[in-house]
Amino acid sequence: MSTSSNSNSFSGAYKHLMTGVSYMIPFVVAGGLLIAIGFAARGIYAYDATLALDGSTIEATAWTTFWANIFAIGAKGGFGLMVAILAGYISYSIADRPGLAPGMIGGVLAGVTGSGFLGGIIAGFLAGYFTQWLNGAIKLPRNLSGLKPVLILPLVSSLVVGLVMFYVVGVPVSAALKALTDWLTGMQAGSAAVLGLILGLMMAFDMGGPVNKAAYLFATGLIGSSVTAPMAAVMAAGMTPPLGIALAAYLFKNRFTEDERESASATAVLGISFITEGAIPYAARDPFRVIPSIMVGSAVAGALSMVFGCTLAVPHGGIFVLPIPNAVGNLGMYIVALLVGTIVTAGMLYVLKKPVEEAPAA
């Protein structure tokens, strides 16, 4: 195949990916900001109307139920649809309307199988290209051709994509997660800095996906045993990607598109709320530069948090937990770790990302 053909194939795939990302962004922003509002109004247990700020059980009231519902709209509504929308519109860009259903179904199954947004991207491309191929492969008489786009293509593609997600994508990801968790458990007695660095890398690698969740679940599982330093490292490393991206978009405007710069404020709010998914739209647009940048920044934040002996007794909340008495140990140095990680992320983005050529004004 010629270089020109390779370039055209890459451009086409990139266009399909960007279609999915552009449709996904409103779900990330709306869902993330609603979660942040819930945390700001009711603290880290905003998701449960029967929990007080200290985690003790209370009787649900109209006030606590209202904020739990706000949180659910963001977490289960906005974020629950995020990967499905990404996968569905990647597939739609490739195969038009018949690709939408199998793409979205594949995106939902990416969540079911634990393969996260990376699994969603795989599902979107698989659904789109398979549906496109199937459309050309199936020949029907003219009086039956109307069945293809509304019945045959969505049905067969959804079946094939679903089986692939369960048996090809989901199984190895699940096995990899177990191996990661076992490995991290063995690291506890080792170097604090190395453990923090590894947790930081994992938190930024797929931004809410299975690797990120493995690090998060590892840290939250230790809280019950009163081992709270890994949780501090994980939250700092999870806040750093969106914060670093937002800072870079403010400082180095020529490295980002106009849409990305306009989204920077919302991305910053997601960052301070410990919603790492705020970095996904930027990473999806330019994965080979953004993902290494945020991984370095998160690794620095996680390692410094562990070296400074910072602790975190609660599993979520971002900056909203910082004022809570006894929630964060060595608070001053924890803020330092977070700021340094954010600055390093922004610096890496400046170094790795190239200036963006904006379309000329009409």
Q: Do the beta carbons of residue 346 and residue 300 sit within 8 Å? A: no
The answer to the question of residue 345 being in a domain is yes
The answer to the question of residue 237 being in a domain is yes
192 and 78 assigned to the same domain: no
52 and 126 assigned to the same domain: yes
The answer to the question of residue 180 being in a domain is no
85 and 199 assigned to the same domain: no
Among 143, 174, 205, give the residue marking a domain's end: 174
273 and 315 assigned to the same domain: yes
Question: pTM to 2 decimals?
Answer: 0.65
Helix 229-251 and helix 331-352, axial crossing angle in degrees, nearest 10: 40
1 and 86 assigned to the same domain: yes
The answer to the question of residue 337 being in a domain is yes
Cβ neighbours, 10 Å, residue 219: 25
> How many structural domains does the chain have?
2
Each residue's pLDDT expressed in tens, for the chain with a length of 362 residues: 444 455 566 667 878 887 887 788 788 777 767 877 787 777 777 788 888 776 778 888 898 899 889 989 988 888 788 889 989 999 999 999 999 999 999 999 988 887 777 788 889 999 999 999 999 888 888 777 788 888 999 999 999 999 999 988 877 766 766 676 666 666 655 577 888 999 999 999 888 777 787 787 678 767 655 678 888 999 999 999 999 999 999 998 888 888 888 888 888 988 988 888 888 888 888 888 899 999 999 999 999 999 898 988 776 778 877 877 667 888 899 999 999 999 999 999 999 988 877 544 43
288 and 320 assigned to the same domain: yes
Q: Do the beta carbons of residue 67 and residue 42 sit within 8 Å? A: yes
91 and 229 assigned to the same domain: no
Among 174, 198, 213, give the residue marking a domain's end: 174
The C-alpha atoms of residue 198 and residue 201 are separated, in whole angstroms, by: 5
216 and 111 assigned to the same domain: no
Q: Do the beta carbons of residue 301 and residue 201 sit within 8 Å? A: no
145 and 209 assigned to the same domain: no
pLDDT of residue 237: 93
Among 130, 151, 174, give the residue marking a domain's end: 174
Rg of the chain over Cα atoms, rounded to whole angstroms, equals: 22
195 and 334 assigned to the same domain: yes
Q: Which residue has the tokens 């020529």?
A: 254
pLDDT of residue 2: 46
The answer to the question of residue 280 being in a domain is yes
**Residue 51 carries which DSSP code?**
B
pLDDT of residue 1: 43
Which of 343, 154, 156 lies closest to 252 in space, CA to CA?
Answer: 343
Domain that holds residue 346: 188-362
Q: Do the beta carbons of residue 184 and residue 298 sit within 8 Å? A: no
The answer to the question of residue 2 being in a domain is yes
The answer to the question of residue 313 being in a domain is yes
The answer to the question of residue 183 being in a domain is no
192 and 134 assigned to the same domain: no
252 and 296 assigned to the same domain: yes
**Side-chain half-sphere exposure of 58, counting CA atoms within 13 A:** 17
CA distances from 24 to 30, 58, 237, 284 (A): 10, 37, 23, 11
